[in-house]
Structure 1
Amino acid sequence: MRVLGYAISLALAGVVTGCGGGGGGGGGGGFFPVVSSAPAPAPAPSPSAPPVADTTRPTVLAFVPAAGNDVPRTTEISATFSEGLRASTVTDSNVQISRSGAAVDGVLSYDATLHKVSFAPAQTLDLLATYTVTARTGLQDLAGNGLAAERSWSFRTADGVWETPRQLDAERTAVSGNPVTAQDSQGNIVVVWSSQASSGWYEIRSATRTESGAWGGFRTLSVPGNRNALLPQVGFDRQGGGLAIWSQFDGSGVEIWSSRFLKDGGWQTPVRLDSGLDVGDASLAVGADGNGFAVWAKQVAPYGNPDAWAARFTVEGGWQAPVRLGSSANSSFYDKVEQPQVAIDAAGNAYALWVQRTSDAPVWAARYELGTGWQPAVSLGATRLGDPFAPRLAISGSGQVMALWNSFVYAGGPYRFDLWWSTLGGTGGTWTTPALLETDDSGNALRQVLVADSTGSFHAVWQQYLSDYRSDLLYRRYTPGSGWSTATTVSTTNGTYWQNRMPSLVADRNGHLMLMWGAYQSGYGGDQEGTFARRYVSGEGWQATRRVGAAGASAAMFTSLAIRPNGTIAASWMEPSELRSDGPVSASVFR
């Protein structure tokens, strides 16, 4: 067992020895050894190139709308860029939409997929207004590169058109002071007029059109049973509130009444402001904040003459007690106050203007200062050449005040109505010496209207008689520092037996005007008669005349215009039948 074991051990030893041989070349029958070799080391990697910096600046690829005119007021406003932008740089300071240098209120948005910045205005764009869109260098791409240079483009919106007129009241309307129109900044429109009820008395009626464009039926504002209610006035603020005032007979005297309009509640119960033996010629002004003023003439004593009175309305407290504006110093037994007017400036101060027909100082004005009240009335220094009539008052955005009136001249022949004007330079200023606005002594200058625009200019239109049967409408513009322009005839249906009458005029904040009037051909009628309007475009002049009333309708006897901040215009008028002074009340909107 051992031998065997030894032999086996020896044999195994030989095998092991053979396996270990071959290193010296002996014995060719042995096993080759397995030799393992280490892999060659990999070459050292080359250093990677630094990333290329993004220095390409974004550019504007497209504007919407394209620069040009007649752009729809509901157009998209956007700019598309060459690459994505940092959303944090899309701000009001880097993207601005302006009109006449003032920023337009609205909301910016950014579409990262389309690389597009859009602007949604808070209100519909103005009629016939130039807008400028500016993209500034603060706009950055995702790498922080800003626009290389500021980019701007401009476009002008389209003008409006007159809608088909709507008849508000088919019954006969009173001769005086009808109708009057007002609207707020949201597009709600109110028309107020006097109309003869079935009882035979005249009452104050009103119709309202909502911002959706729907007219409601008329309703009665005046107090029933109090005899005739006449001479309505109406005004609205920018929030949708309004006021109306009117004169109403009570059997023994005359009263001044008022009703307040609430946007969500309509007309409220009327309140009486004042009463007297003879109260009338009321005028109303409502400020943008809803506060307002009313002025009127009132006779207190049986044998006295009316003096000027006023009341202030505040949104918080309603109507305050009336106060007398004139005094014994400027109102004697024969100094009858007539036709007072009132207007409010941008700060909320008010000015009242009136005439005293037989006074040696026939034109007077008073100022209401916030926090102080009414200041003493002052004479405008007008020389009494005759009886003054129809004072008009306008205040520019800069605070300059202008007064305009006509005066019946007895001296110098022939007898005629001349047109006079004066201005007040603002708080603490004095009235300029009154001067003639028209110098045509061959005929009367009547029914003047006066407005101020946003540039500080004043615009006057009046009815100039060339004969007993013919009258044209004349226009002049007053520019501060330059004075009045040459008179221009703006009525376009002129000739023998044509009377262009009863003008109304409004100005928008872009310097454009709208004039409305009735064109009447005495004894003829015909298709050329009717109610017309004509547009004045700032920088371009007067445009073509457009018919506003229905074809075949008679010429307007009374017209009224009211304008929104965006230039939309509401109009109302009364169309009398031939040889009559009453007729239906109609309305239309220019938008």
Structure 2
Amino acid sequence: MCHSRPASLLIVLSFLLSISACGGGGGGGSDGSASYTIGGTVTGAVNSGLALENNGGDTLEVGGVDFEFATKLADGSSYDVTLAALPEHQLCSMENASGTVAGTDVNDVSVLCRSWRSAALIETGTGEAASPQIAFNNDGNAIAVWVQFDGTQDNIWASIYSPGGGWSAAVVIGDENGDARAPQIAIDDDGNAIVVWTQQSTYYNAWIRRYSPDSGWSSEGLIEFNGGDASDPQIAMNNAGNAIIVWVQNEAPPTSPNPLNLWANTYTPGVGSGTAELVEADAGSAQDPQIAFDSAGNAIAVWEQYNGSTWYDIRASVWAPGSGWAMPEDIETIDDGNSFDPQIVIDGDNNATVVWTSSDGTRFNIWANNWSQAAGWGSEDLIETDNAGDAFDPQIAVDSMGNVIAVWRQRLSVGTGYSTVANTYSPNDGWSSAELIEDPSNGSAGNQQIAFDNEGNAIAVWRNSNIWANTWSPISGWDAATLIENDNAGIAVEPQIAFDGTSNAIAVWAESDGTRDNIRANRFE
């Protein structure tokens, strides 16, 4: 005869079995030990394509806000969640992505994805606006400057962006008598900024104005008293707030011959501007100067200079605190035609990379050279080998690890419009192969610019009647190009882009509304 067990005994047995199966909160491993899930949340993924990996495998395509890997891990196991693929037109970063399982499920891995927002006006003036520039500091504060007509003359205007407040009302920061042009801006990590430009009096002179978050805009001041027209000022600033400004200037007529020479001046916080000095005094004209600082407080200027007989060459000079400017030297040996449009960056190890355009007698190519404190200048490298069409106007950016991206405009065949082309450089592997990063059928492209964020990602922008952008990451390389403004009332030109310290970016450009050119901006965040 069978006897039934009391119901209370069955409940106790069932409870004990459930505890054994669950391992105290985790799932059961193959050996009966507890195991735990790895997961988290995604913010800002507005496009498809995001994929994650854990410990180099267990790939997970993420289509929503929450995610959880299929493979559970035992207590004490390490986890390392990484990005395997990015959403289209987006860049992503991670927090709490690695650690050790500590007897409970991991659900705090965070993925933050950034995307382009909507383009917007940042000024409401009534005159034509042009030549925008932008600088971002690590805290997410930015300053944009540009030239704008007030009905009588062109002045320098500025607007300040803050993460909590957006764009401030635009203000005039350069309105001396006479037209102003060619503003440039640099900013340090504390948000102190310096703007330089040229403005016409008897001649065009070089001017400077400083911005401090604590006191606002200082008075504007001259940084040279040379006589003759100053043009094309450029500025570099280090995190101590020290700056170097370079420009080209001729002497007051009737001097003959009267070449453009390269000049420089320094700015020191608490002291102000120094005395302008010649960097070179060659008989051949200097043009298109650029300047960059290294982390030790040294700087390198590059420019193009007529060699007195045949062509323009690329030259460079190193500046060091206490000793000033070194003797200029040629950094390229190409003697088949003119070289011009140099650009320079310096990485965190104080190594410099310069790119420029040179003619081989048949077509124009993009070249590069590297400099280090130990070895000086190396040998130039041809960084594109497409001999079908000319290449011009290279721009360059570097990340904290010394990786470099150069972008430029290039004809893919004779008689066609220009397309946006890029090449990447790593300290270990050198230059890779140049590649097209946009659809040539969109029309002729120009005004290419490039910037890196602190995580080794980059964004290139350019104009093609509209403003376009493309993202690059070490994970997947170049994405597909995308429009970042869609106001088709008029042509958009002169884009610029900068990143802050948390991988947010702002692009600014000039765009016609059908009546006048305005300054517009878009945020990548």
TM-score between the two structures when normalised by the length of structure 1: 0.69
Q: Which residue of the partner structure matches residue 223 of structure 1?
A: 175
Note closer, same or farther for the CA distance 1:69–1:468 as it changes in structure 2 (3 Å cut). Answer: farther
Q: Which residue of the partner structure matches residue 514 of structure 1?
A: 459
Q: Which residue of the partner structure matches residue 142 of structure 2?
A: 189
Cα RMSD of the aligned pairs, angstroms, is 3.4
Q: Which moved more, 1:376-385 or 1:253-262?
A: 376-385
Q: Which residue of the partner structure matches residue 376 of structure 2?
A: 430
- Decide which of 332, 343, 346 is 2:292's aligned counterpart: 343
Q: Which residue of the partner structure matches residue 481 of structure 2?
A: 545
Q: Which residue of the partner structure matches residue 243 of structure 1?
A: 194
Q: Which residue of the partner structure matches residue 392 of structure 1?
A: 343
Q: More strand per residue: 1 or 2?
A: 2
Note closer, same or farther for the CA distance 1:455–1:392 as it changes in structure 2 (3 Å cut). Answer: same
Q: Deviations over 1:204-239 (max 9, x none)?
A: 1111122313322211111332x1100000111111
Partner Cα distance (2:229, 2:353) in 1 = 29
Q: Secondary structure at the match of 1:494?
A: helix
Unaligned runs of 5+ in 1: 1-58, 76-96, 101-125, 138-146, 521-529
- Report percent identity of matched pairs: 22
Q: Which residue of the partner structure matches residue 206 of structure 2?
A: 256
Q: Which residue of the partner structure matches residue 588 of structure 1?
A: 522
| TM-fit CA distance, 1:470 | 1.1
Q: Which residue of the partner structure matches residue 132 of structure 2?
A: 179
Task: Indicate yes or no: 2:301 matched with 1:352.
Answer: yes
One-letter amino acid matched to 1:429? A
Q: Which residue of the partner structure matches residue 470 of structure 1?
A: 417
Q: Which residue of the partner structure matches residue 205 of structure 1?
A: 157
Task: Indicate yes or no: 2:445 matched with 1:483.
Answer: no
Task: Indicate yes or no: 2:238 matched with 1:287.
Answer: yes
Alpha-carbon contact 1:223-1:270 (below 8 Å) kept: no
Q: Which residue of the partner structure matches residue 321 of structure 2?
A: 370
Partner Cα distance (1:68, 1:343) in 2 = 41
Q: Deviations over 1:424-461 (max 9, x none)?
A: 1x213221222322233332211211111222111111
Note closer, same or farther for the CA distance 1:99–1:174 as it changes in structure 2 (3 Å cut). Answer: farther
Partner Cα distance (2:313, 2:501) in 1 = 35
Alpha-carbon contact 1:99-1:129 (below 8 Å) kept: no
TM-score between the two structures when normalised by the length of structure 2: 0.78
Alpha-carbon contact 1:573-1:587 (below 8 Å) kept: yes
| TM-fit CA distance, 1:336 | 0.5
Q: Which has the larger radius of gyration?
A: 1
| TM-fit CA distance, 1:195 | 1.2
Partner Cα distance (1:417, 1:405) in 2 = 10
One-letter amino acid matched to 1:552? N
Q: Which residue of the partner structure matches residue 117 of structure 2?
A: 163
Note closer, same or farther for the CA distance 1:245–1:98 as it changes in structure 2 (3 Å cut). Answer: farther
Partner Cα distance (1:447, 1:577) in 2 = 27
- Decide which of 272, 283, 298 is 2:222's aligned counterpart: 272
Q: Secondary structure at the match of 1:129?
A: strand
Alpha-carbon contact 1:476-1:486 (below 8 Å) kept: yes
One-letter amino acid matched to 1:274? E
Task: Indicate yes or no: 2:42 matched with 1:70.
Answer: yes
| TM-fit CA distance, 1:157 | 2.6
Unaligned runs of 5+ in 2: 1-23, 28-35, 46-64, 66-78, 83-89
> 1:103-182, aligned counterparts within 5 Å?
128-132=92-96, 155=109, 157-169=111-123, 171-173=126-128, 178-182=131-135
Q: Secondary structure at the match of 2:223?
A: strand
One-letter amino acid matched to 2:163? E
Q: Which residue of the partner structure matches residue 406 of structure 2?
A: 460
Alpha-carbon contact 2:81-2:98 (below 8 Å) kept: no
Q: Secondary structure at the match of 1:313?
A: strand
Alpha-carbon contact 1:174-1:230 (below 8 Å) kept: no
Task: Indicate yes or no: 2:504 matched with 1:504.
Answer: no
Q: Which residue of the partner structure matches residue 536 of structure 1?
A: 472
Partner Cα distance (1:174, 1:551) in 2 = 17
